[in-house]
Structure 1
């Protein structure tokens, strides 16, 4: 959690360059969407405002999703020089299938992935391009941040999870040369995607799976984080939706664990670290099962005083973690100009145990689904809760560049 804050120099090293180099690469930005008519049009408009001179956007929609397709084609009409539409007719549908379909017509030498609700800084591609040049990376992972911490008691903790994950933990993963990539704001060279044959369309955590395979092959992954360049998102709108999302992520980790690509990592340290990380759903599920057992012991079993005292030892790291979370909440409010109130700190403390119980329950469900062989994709809904109402109007079309030609009808439907 605290890796990035070890020193001021370490914190600066996690950032994009303050003086980015001139653009050298062409980008293809993939934006899959399913039943995202409320948010996807605005996302495409914002992406079209990138200040980078050479990029294309491919929006992918399902053949059975006319609402989203209409919104996407309207956005393509506003930006005919930038946006192409791909219709995915695969059944059953999932995100990696959509990405692989669009990858077939991508023309960029670097491919980036964004989600349908993302708010993306207009200068992001410029600093990412520079980071590729500065480091010779195969992959650049940018920051993603949930924003609506005021929405509910659990959204506060969900926001902090993202903050520590992208601000610090992913940098530690990259330094350890074993990294489960994020689901968006991730950029991979076309050569590496051709080597990997795209994304694993049977995995519920295709981002993690791709990161593990690339790590196992020695790919260079660079993580960079500046608050101003962070892609902004929202928490799932309901606790049920978050429950399904977390189940899917956990089950995806279990699938990656079972696939065994991590065993190809070159050092024992990396393999043990991978085993620990990918086994996390099992550990959380075990915690969930132990909770009722612990309650029964409290009520029914008498133990010696020394044993009772020893059982309180886990409170020490728990309290330390809570203090770090409180400091992180203060820092989040400062860097994102969000007013953090006393009641938010109270919610942070009171939500600690319920949220851990919730995560354990989602982990138990993921293990059950995996044992049953149920790999169906459970989509996360989006409502645009992270967006400023003033920014929801469509942006004007970007003037066409003579070098960029709109896709033909055959390309669009390929």
Structure 2
């Protein structure tokens, strides 16, 4: 046993200390390699050695066998020194090496066998490895109870490993060299059933009252039924008084919902993030750049995979410190095959398969993959997303400089096809008002946020602490934002955006909006199961804000067409001579004020959030706002029906060409003018993608068998 413990220590990746010499980094030779700058963060922390150790003769022989030139080896060593990774990982990330070739040459140098971990092999204590970086050494037992040790020593630990083998030659029969990612795949394979069962139940297993598995509790159903019966009786016995009271209450509530949005329209926006300090200024410490996990759930998204992988490759974060999980349903073979082709030769990407079964929801897939994520921070994207390459850096900066209880950051979502159709144009205006005005205002005042469905950055441990996502909630993001607030965590916003396409077709838009409205119904009912507890956890101001923002959104969806209809009938009667202006009651005038104020406030919020270019391109969509809100009322009614008959139904909406009004038309793209991104998303993404390929250009080699 002691030999195994020593071996684990010897095989572990050497974490280079971070230099702290006046904020500058020693050069091993000449000028800093330009090709690696885009990948490397520059952390500085506690006192540490000023430069990495020189190569040993054994290490040089291995590098020569791998075909790595001395200049490239020095660059990789410097990158490992800065990022807190290891030399081989940097060479693989730079496209100079494959994991298989490294393992083959390493095995030959050490006189050991290369062998992948097979499906019949069982890693001891695999469940204990979840949530952590895959180990360099795994003790394995197969069906015949043959014990073996699979390991992948780093170049830095090569000499110590060779000395260990010389002292313990009897261990050669047990030790196998494998790829580091083989250990991660084996852990995924071995823990799949356990993770799947936990993901299916999620919150309903331990805290059923916090889960939407039961959408409406019996007491809530009884109260709702009682309210409906009371309203019917009131309308039967005193219709005039009942209608006046209901109309007045709805009018006042509608006005309050508008009033709370006024400060968001008037506030000074956050300054766009640019020229962020290198992470070293934030005192990362000597253990290196933190690992950032990226989760993306895909379902029938074959066409989106290449574009998605390119966008994620462009993220400005060291590839050796990225942990990207693309999550697919196991029976969606087309998407899974497309993912495997796209991520070949990229060890920081991995495919996670979710066994088929109910509920078939995005949060269940994310919960299944969450235990495999081992980053200190985690971000969630959608298949169609194009995040700003600097978004992770800004999020990291905010996490390090924000309050201690900061758990989540919401990035703004920007629609790029607003000119293509009036539906997508108004969708873009909605997003501008929500993500660039309302959510930043709520976050600035510490109020609970209804998170967006994508581009949410988390401190992973705090996400796990609140139970991850609710697998039975079709708007898991809105629910999660409230659970974070109830647990005492803060949610804030950042400025670097994520670009995505909005639906242009009615059948896509109304299915998506139905799911959203149904999820908001469920989430409101869920958190109002214990209103006194909610009040105690949020506080009076946050509780009032929650009611006005959340319930207000639901009520407004139904109130708008009613108010508008009443106004049209009343003024139509006046126009036809059937009534006189003096006959109009005060409620009608208040209704008119509310309707005009609602349109005006929407225009003010969205216009304040738009860039000048967007404002010029989208202003022609405002006249369609009454029709758009009418369609929203229809989707809300449909959502209410689904709440009663199919609360967990997930209506999948397509992305890309399938969501466009006319897929044969060329794409119109709005290029928002952000100070943080002056060249537009396309230019920045393309340039960053080129800069992120270190040392040599060209795609990374496929990780196949090494040449003889």
Number of paired residues? 390
Q: Which runs of 5+ in 1 are unaligned?
A: 401-407, 409-414
3-state SS in 2 of match to 1:221: strand
Distance 1:75 1:374 in 2: 35
Distance 2:563 2:595 in 1: 17
* Larger gyration radius, structure 1 or structure 2: 2
TM superposition shift of 1:287:
4.2
Q: Partner residue of 1:405?
A: none
TM superposition shift of 1:375:
2.1
Distance 2:411 2:485 in 1: 17
Q: 1:347 aligns with which of 615, 621, 639?
A: 621
TM superposition shift of 1:275:
2.5
Distance 1:321 1:289 in 2: 14
TM superposition shift of 1:213:
0.5
3-state SS in 1 of match to 2:372: coil
Q: 1:379 aligns with which of 646, 652, 662?
A: 652
Tell whether the 8 Å contact from 2:416 to 2:501 is kept in structure 1 after alignment.
Answer: yes
Distance 2:668 2:309 in 1: 16
Q: 2:356 aligns with which of 90, 100, 105?
A: 90
Distance 2:602 2:558 in 1: 23
1:28-82 deviation digits (Å, cap 9, x = unpaired):
000111111122321122112222122211001111222211221122115x222
3-state SS in 1 of match to 2:325: strand
Q: Partner residue of 1:306?
A: 582
Q: 2:541 aligns with which of 269, 275, 295?
A: 269
Which stretch has the larger CA shift, 256-265 or 121-130? 256-265
Q: Partner residue of 2:72?
A: none
Q: 1:158 aligns with which of 406, 424, 427?
A: 427
RCO higher in 1 or 2 (8 Å CA, sep ≥ 6)? 1
TM superposition shift of 1:98:
1.0
Mapping of 1:38-117 within 5 angstroms? Answer: 38-53=303-318, 54-78=321-345, 80-92=346-358, 93-117=360-384
TM-score by length of 1: 0.83
Q: Partner residue of 2:514?
A: 247
Tell whether the 8 Å contact from 2:573 to 2:579 is kept in structure 1 after alignment.
Answer: no
1:228-281 deviation digits (Å, cap 9, x = unpaired):
x21001111311211111111111111111112684233122222222333232
3-state SS in 1 of match to 2:489: coil
Q: Which runs of 5+ in 2 are unaligned?
A: 1-260, 285-289, 658-666, 670-680, 696-702, 704-708
Distance 1:178 1:307 in 2: 43
Q: Alpha carbons of 1:331 and 1:216: their partners in 2 closer, same or farther (altered >3 Å)?
A: closer
Q: Alpha carbons of 1:386 and 1:212: their partners in 2 closer, same or farther (altered >3 Å)?
A: farther
TM-score by length of 2: 0.50
Which stretch has the larger CA shift, 82-91 or 14-23? 14-23
Q: Partner residue of 1:193?
A: 463
Q: Alpha carbons of 1:386 and 1:20: their partners in 2 closer, same or farther (altered >3 Å)?
A: farther
2:393 matches 1:141:
no
Tell whether the 8 Å contact from 1:2 to 1:168 is kept in structure 2 after alignment.
Answer: no
2:489 matches 1:219:
yes
Tell whether the 8 Å contact from 1:178 to 1:215 is kept in structure 2 after alignment.
Answer: yes
Distance 1:128 1:291 in 2: 42
Q: Alpha carbons of 1:163 and 1:184: their partners in 2 closer, same or farther (altered >3 Å)?
A: same
TM superposition shift of 1:305:
2.4
2:439 matches 1:170:
yes
Q: 1:258 aligns with which of 516, 525, 528?
A: 525
